[in-house]
Amino acid sequence: MTERHNNIIWHHATVTQVRRETMNGHKAVNLWFTGLSGSGKSTLAHAVEERLHQIGCRTFVFDGDNVRHGLCSDLGFSEKDRSENIRRIGEMVNLFLQSGIIALTAFISPLKQDREKVRTIIGTDNFLEIHCACSLEICEHRDVKGLYKKARAGIIKNYTGISSPYEAPANPDLCLDTGLLPLQTCVEKVISCLYKKQILSSLLEKKALPD
Protein backbone atom coordinates (compact mmCIF):
# COMPACT_ATOMS: atom_id res chain seq x y z
CA MET A 1 0.00 0.00 0.00
CA THR A 2 1.34 3.44 -0.93
CA GLU A 3 1.92 6.25 1.56
CA ARG A 4 -1.01 8.11 0.01
CA HIS A 5 -3.35 5.20 0.79
CA ASN A 6 -1.90 4.79 4.29
CA ASN A 7 -2.90 8.36 5.08
CA ILE A 8 -6.45 8.11 3.75
CA ILE A 9 -9.11 6.93 6.19
CA TRP A 10 -12.78 6.42 5.31
CA HIS A 11 -15.02 8.72 7.34
CA HIS A 12 -18.21 7.03 8.53
CA ALA A 13 -21.20 9.40 8.49
CA THR A 14 -23.78 9.38 11.26
CA VAL A 15 -26.53 9.75 8.65
CA THR A 16 -26.40 6.24 7.16
CA GLN A 17 -27.74 4.77 3.94
CA VAL A 18 -30.45 2.96 5.91
CA ARG A 19 -31.61 6.22 7.51
CA ARG A 20 -31.72 7.90 4.10
CA GLU A 21 -33.67 4.98 2.61
CA THR A 22 -36.16 5.17 5.46
CA MET A 23 -36.68 8.88 4.83
CA ASN A 24 -37.05 8.27 1.07
CA GLY A 25 -39.51 5.42 1.50
CA HIS A 26 -37.58 3.10 -0.82
CA LYS A 27 -34.30 1.22 -0.96
CA ALA A 28 -31.29 2.36 -2.95
CA VAL A 29 -30.35 0.23 -5.94
CA ASN A 30 -28.51 0.40 -9.24
CA LEU A 31 -30.45 -0.44 -12.40
CA TRP A 32 -27.71 -1.26 -14.89
CA PHE A 33 -29.09 -1.08 -18.45
CA THR A 34 -26.75 -2.79 -20.91
CA GLY A 35 -27.10 -3.40 -24.64
CA LEU A 36 -25.90 -2.38 -28.07
CA SER A 37 -25.90 1.22 -29.23
CA GLY A 38 -29.41 1.97 -30.42
CA SER A 39 -31.01 -0.69 -28.22
CA GLY A 40 -32.95 1.94 -26.27
CA LYS A 41 -31.00 1.89 -22.99
CA SER A 42 -31.11 5.64 -22.38
CA THR A 43 -34.71 5.98 -23.56
CA LEU A 44 -35.82 3.22 -21.20
CA ALA A 45 -33.72 4.46 -18.27
CA HIS A 46 -35.21 7.95 -18.50
CA ALA A 47 -38.73 6.58 -18.94
CA VAL A 48 -38.29 4.43 -15.83
CA GLU A 49 -36.92 7.43 -13.94
CA GLU A 50 -39.97 9.48 -14.92
CA ARG A 51 -42.25 6.72 -13.62
CA LEU A 52 -40.29 6.50 -10.36
CA HIS A 53 -40.27 10.27 -9.96
CA GLN A 54 -44.05 10.34 -10.28
CA ILE A 55 -44.41 8.10 -7.23
CA GLY A 56 -41.93 10.09 -5.15
CA CYS A 57 -38.65 8.23 -5.58
CA ARG A 58 -35.24 9.89 -5.45
CA THR A 59 -33.41 8.98 -8.65
CA PHE A 60 -30.58 9.86 -11.01
CA VAL A 61 -29.72 8.64 -14.51
CA PHE A 62 -26.10 8.17 -15.56
CA ASP A 63 -26.08 8.28 -19.36
CA GLY A 64 -23.07 7.02 -21.33
CA ASP A 65 -22.62 10.11 -23.49
CA ASN A 66 -23.25 12.55 -20.64
CA VAL A 67 -20.63 10.94 -18.41
CA ARG A 68 -18.04 11.16 -21.17
CA HIS A 69 -18.57 14.92 -21.33
CA GLY A 70 -17.31 15.34 -17.77
CA LEU A 71 -16.20 12.58 -15.41
CA CYS A 72 -14.65 10.46 -18.16
CA SER A 73 -13.82 13.14 -20.76
CA ASP A 74 -10.15 12.10 -20.63
CA LEU A 75 -10.88 8.54 -21.77
CA GLY A 76 -10.97 7.12 -25.28
CA PHE A 77 -12.59 3.93 -26.57
CA SER A 78 -9.78 1.40 -26.28
CA GLU A 79 -10.61 -1.69 -24.24
CA LYS A 80 -8.50 -0.33 -21.37
CA ASP A 81 -10.21 3.07 -21.42
CA ARG A 82 -13.68 1.55 -21.69
CA SER A 83 -12.92 -0.62 -18.69
CA GLU A 84 -11.75 2.41 -16.70
CA ASN A 85 -14.88 4.27 -17.78
CA ILE A 86 -17.07 1.56 -16.26
CA ARG A 87 -14.93 1.35 -13.10
CA ARG A 88 -15.35 5.07 -12.47
CA ILE A 89 -19.08 4.78 -12.98
CA GLY A 90 -19.20 1.93 -10.48
CA GLU A 91 -17.44 4.03 -7.86
CA MET A 92 -19.73 7.00 -8.51
CA VAL A 93 -22.85 4.83 -8.35
CA ASN A 94 -21.61 3.42 -5.04
CA LEU A 95 -21.62 6.94 -3.56
CA PHE A 96 -25.11 7.60 -4.91
CA LEU A 97 -26.38 4.38 -3.34
CA GLN A 98 -24.98 5.45 0.00
CA SER A 99 -27.04 8.63 -0.38
CA GLY A 100 -30.18 6.49 -0.74
CA ILE A 101 -30.67 7.15 -4.46
CA ILE A 102 -32.01 4.78 -7.13
CA ALA A 103 -29.22 5.07 -9.70
CA LEU A 104 -30.06 4.19 -13.31
CA THR A 105 -27.06 3.60 -15.57
CA ALA A 106 -27.31 3.34 -19.35
CA PHE A 107 -24.04 2.04 -20.81
CA ILE A 108 -23.19 -0.39 -23.59
CA SER A 109 -20.72 -1.97 -21.11
CA PRO A 110 -19.90 -4.73 -23.63
CA LEU A 111 -17.63 -6.88 -21.46
CA LYS A 112 -18.93 -9.19 -18.76
CA GLN A 113 -15.80 -8.67 -16.63
CA ASP A 114 -16.45 -4.92 -16.46
CA ARG A 115 -20.07 -5.37 -15.41
CA GLU A 116 -18.94 -7.87 -12.79
CA LYS A 117 -16.43 -5.32 -11.52
CA VAL A 118 -19.29 -2.90 -10.86
CA ARG A 119 -21.23 -5.66 -9.11
CA THR A 120 -18.20 -6.21 -6.85
CA ILE A 121 -17.84 -2.48 -6.12
CA ILE A 122 -21.46 -1.85 -5.14
CA GLY A 123 -22.48 -5.32 -3.92
CA THR A 124 -24.54 -8.02 -5.63
CA ASP A 125 -27.78 -7.10 -3.84
CA ASN A 126 -27.48 -3.51 -5.08
CA PHE A 127 -26.89 -4.39 -8.73
CA LEU A 128 -29.83 -5.21 -11.01
CA GLU A 129 -28.65 -6.04 -14.53
CA ILE A 130 -31.19 -5.22 -17.24
CA HIS A 131 -30.35 -6.45 -20.72
CA CYS A 132 -31.87 -4.39 -23.53
CA ALA A 133 -31.77 -7.32 -25.93
CA CYS A 134 -32.37 -5.53 -29.20
CA SER A 135 -31.04 -7.24 -32.33
CA LEU A 136 -28.09 -5.73 -34.20
CA GLU A 137 -30.29 -5.46 -37.29
CA ILE A 138 -32.84 -3.26 -35.52
CA CYS A 139 -30.11 -1.20 -33.84
CA GLU A 140 -28.47 -0.58 -37.20
CA HIS A 141 -31.80 0.28 -38.78
CA ARG A 142 -32.39 2.88 -36.08
CA ASP A 143 -28.79 4.18 -36.17
CA VAL A 144 -30.00 7.30 -34.37
CA LYS A 145 -26.49 8.78 -34.21
CA GLY A 146 -25.23 7.58 -37.58
CA LEU A 147 -22.47 5.65 -35.85
CA TYR A 148 -23.10 2.21 -37.33
CA LYS A 149 -22.78 3.67 -40.82
CA LYS A 150 -19.41 5.18 -39.88
CA ALA A 151 -18.32 1.91 -38.26
CA ARG A 152 -19.24 -0.08 -41.37
CA ALA A 153 -17.23 2.40 -43.43
CA GLY A 154 -14.23 1.95 -41.16
CA ILE A 155 -14.34 5.56 -39.96
CA ILE A 156 -14.99 4.48 -36.34
CA LYS A 157 -12.75 1.74 -34.98
CA ASN A 158 -13.53 -0.70 -32.16
CA TYR A 159 -17.29 -0.19 -32.49
CA THR A 160 -19.36 -2.62 -30.43
CA GLY A 161 -21.33 -5.08 -32.53
CA ILE A 162 -19.31 -4.35 -35.68
CA SER A 163 -15.58 -4.46 -34.98
CA SER A 164 -15.67 -5.01 -31.23
CA PRO A 165 -17.53 -7.76 -29.32
CA TYR A 166 -20.58 -7.46 -27.11
CA GLU A 167 -20.87 -10.10 -24.38
CA ALA A 168 -24.56 -10.39 -23.55
CA PRO A 169 -25.45 -11.13 -19.90
CA ALA A 170 -25.96 -14.83 -19.29
CA ASN A 171 -28.37 -14.40 -16.36
CA PRO A 172 -29.62 -10.81 -16.18
CA ASP A 173 -32.20 -9.82 -13.59
CA LEU A 174 -34.38 -8.73 -16.49
CA CYS A 175 -34.11 -9.30 -20.24
CA LEU A 176 -36.23 -7.03 -22.41
CA ASP A 177 -36.63 -7.22 -26.17
CA THR A 178 -36.47 -3.45 -26.65
CA GLY A 179 -36.62 -3.92 -30.40
CA LEU A 180 -40.14 -5.37 -30.30
CA LEU A 181 -41.74 -4.50 -26.95
CA PRO A 182 -43.43 -1.08 -26.56
CA LEU A 183 -41.54 1.33 -24.30
CA GLN A 184 -44.28 1.46 -21.66
CA THR A 185 -44.39 -2.33 -21.46
CA CYS A 186 -40.66 -2.35 -20.75
CA VAL A 187 -41.10 0.36 -18.12
CA GLU A 188 -43.80 -1.59 -16.32
CA LYS A 189 -41.68 -4.74 -16.35
CA VAL A 190 -38.83 -2.85 -14.68
CA ILE A 191 -41.18 -1.33 -12.08
CA SER A 192 -42.72 -4.75 -11.41
CA CYS A 193 -39.23 -6.17 -10.86
CA LEU A 194 -38.51 -3.44 -8.28
CA TYR A 195 -41.67 -4.27 -6.35
CA LYS A 196 -40.92 -7.99 -6.53
CA LYS A 197 -37.45 -7.43 -5.09
CA GLN A 198 -38.95 -5.13 -2.44
CA ILE A 199 -36.94 -2.12 -3.56
CA LEU A 200 -40.25 -0.25 -3.80
CA SER A 201 -43.16 -0.35 -1.36
CA SER A 202 -46.87 -0.08 -2.15
CA LEU A 203 -46.89 2.84 0.29
CA LEU A 204 -45.13 4.89 -2.38
CA GLU A 205 -48.07 4.52 -4.74
CA LYS A 206 -50.53 5.53 -2.03
CA LYS A 207 -48.44 8.56 -1.11
CA ALA A 208 -48.38 9.64 -4.76
CA LEU A 209 -52.19 9.51 -5.15
CA PRO A 210 -54.01 12.88 -5.02
CA ASP A 211 -56.21 13.59 -1.98
**Which tens digits make up the pLDDT trace of 152-172?**
999 998 899 999 999 999 999
Burial class (CB in 10 A: 0-12, 13-18, 19+), 156: middle
Q: Does domain 25-196 have CATH number 3.40.50.800?
A: no
Residue 46: which of 34, 35, 60 has the closest Cα? 60
Q: pLDDT tens-digit profile of 183-202?
A: 999 999 999 999 999 999 86
Task: Give the C-alpha separation, 63 to 190, whole Å.
Answer: 18
Domain boundaries, the chain: 25-196
Q: Name the more confident of 96 and 10.
A: 96
Task: Spot the catalytic one: 109, 135, 201, 202.
Answer: 109
Q: Where are the alpha helices (DSSP H) in the chain?
A: 3-6, 17-24, 41-54, 64-69, 79-98, 112-122, 136-142, 147-152, 183-196, 202-208
Category of 199 on φ-ψ map: left (φ > 0), alpha (ψ -120 to 50) or beta: alpha
Residue 67: which of 15, 18, 104, 22 has the closest Cα? 104
164 is catalytic: no
Residues contacting 129, CB < 8 A, separation 6+:
32, 34, 115, 119, 169, 172, 173, 174
Residue 9 scores a pLDDT above 60: yes
